[in-house]
Structure 1
Amino acid sequence: MSSMDINEIMAYLPHRFPFLLVDRVISLEPGKSIVALKNVSMNEPFFPGHFPKHPVMPGVLILEALAQAAALLSFKTVADAPNGDAVVYFAGIDAARFKKPVMPGDQLMLHAEILRNLKGIWKYATYAEVDGQRVAEAEMMATLR
């Protein structure tokens, strides 16, 4: 099991502000699973418009954070050296469910597990938690390029 700080995350993921949605990797077991976190701050660029008097993190961005965590897991599974040219593309999202709103001040714990990697298509079981309560879940498929 290994962890990653923001500098190592940025060496693997092409995303940058305002779209980098993983702050730290808590644990990562290549070929198996990852636990990462996103600190949700009132300073997020989406909160002024979503919603002005009731800030809620958009569900699609929770899914994006889960996808970025899954991408880190795949990159660390195929090679333990950053490749700045590599990108992970969504191939599909199934059974996405949103169970509780995510608000400023929340710490979003991102969990992803590899279900399979077949012919370059990776499938993951993912879920996000705040304070030990599940806030979102989805099965995702992606491909590395």
Structure 2
Amino acid sequence: MELDIKGIMDRIPHRYPMLLIDRVLEMVPGKSIVAIKNVSFNEPFFSGHFPHHPVMPGVLIIEAMAQAAALFSFENDCGVNPADKKIAYYLVGVDGARFRRPVVPGDQLRLDVVAERISRTICKYAGKATVDGQLVAEAKLMCAIRVLED
């Protein structure tokens, strides 16, 4: 299954400047995803990180992995939709994060995320980010699902 930007925006609540997924190349609901983030010089974070040598912050690479995870985790679950305003999907843990090389303007970040455990309250994932086939970052992620009170 592939998704364009409209399909992505239908499934998660993030919007500019925090929407960090541009396209989904492959998705197996409840199992895994391959998503793309095109890194442009026009990203708002580059003006301060760093003006003389723009580098995508590692924390945003991790956030992109978490957004990708949200896209595939509940695709077949009618009771949970991360885009629903009554449901919050929080990144609550990051383990073993490693950053191998900088991500710079012009790079295409490929995000490969695999579910290790998905439940109605806590989900665990293994994520890798690559550019041109080279590993740039990896981490274990934990996300929590919460129903928001009115």
TM-score (norm 1): 0.93
Task: Quote the Cα distance in structure 2 between the aligned partners of 1:67 and 1:9.
Answer: 13
- Where does residue 99 of structure 2 map in the other structure? 98
- Where does residue 63 of structure 2 map in the other structure? 64
Gaps of 5+ in 1: none
Change (3 A) 1:129 1:64: same
- Where does residue 46 of structure 1 map in the other structure? 45
Deviations along 1:7-51, whole A, 9 cap, x unmatched?
A: 010011111100000000000001210000000000000001100
SS at match of 1:3: coil
Change (3 A) 1:94 1:81: closer
Contact 1:102 1:135 in 2 (8 A): yes
Gaps of 5+ in 2: none
- Computed over aligned residues only, the root mean square deviation of the Cα atoms, in angstroms, reads 1.7
Contact 2:35 2:110 in 1 (8 A): yes
TM-score (norm 2): 0.90
- Where does residue 142 of structure 1 map in the other structure? 143
Contact 1:30 1:77 in 2 (8 A): yes
Of the structure 1 ranges 98-107 and 112-121, higher mean CA displacement relative to structure 2 is found in 112-121
SS at match of 2:74: helix
- Where does residue 7 of structure 1 map in the other structure? 6
Task: Quote the Cα distance in structure 2 between the aligned partners of 1:93 and 1:34.
Answer: 18
Task: Quote the Cα distance in structure 2 between the aligned partners of 1:126 and 1:78.
Answer: 22
Task: Quote the Cα distance in structure 1 between the aligned partners of 2:101 and 2:127.
Answer: 16
Of the structure 1 ranges 111-120 and 91-100, higher mean CA displacement relative to structure 2 is found in 111-120
The amino acid across from 2:35 in the alignment is A
Contact 1:12 1:75 in 2 (8 A): no
SS at match of 2:75: helix
Post-superposition shift, 1:81? 8.8
Post-superposition shift, 1:80? 9.7
Task: Quote the Cα distance in structure 1 between the aligned partners of 2:119 and 2:75.
Answer: 17
SS at match of 2:62: helix
Of the structure 1 ranges 75-84 and 50-59, higher mean CA displacement relative to structure 2 is found in 75-84
The answer to whether 1:24 aligns with 2:13 is: no
The answer to whether 1:117 aligns with 2:118 is: yes
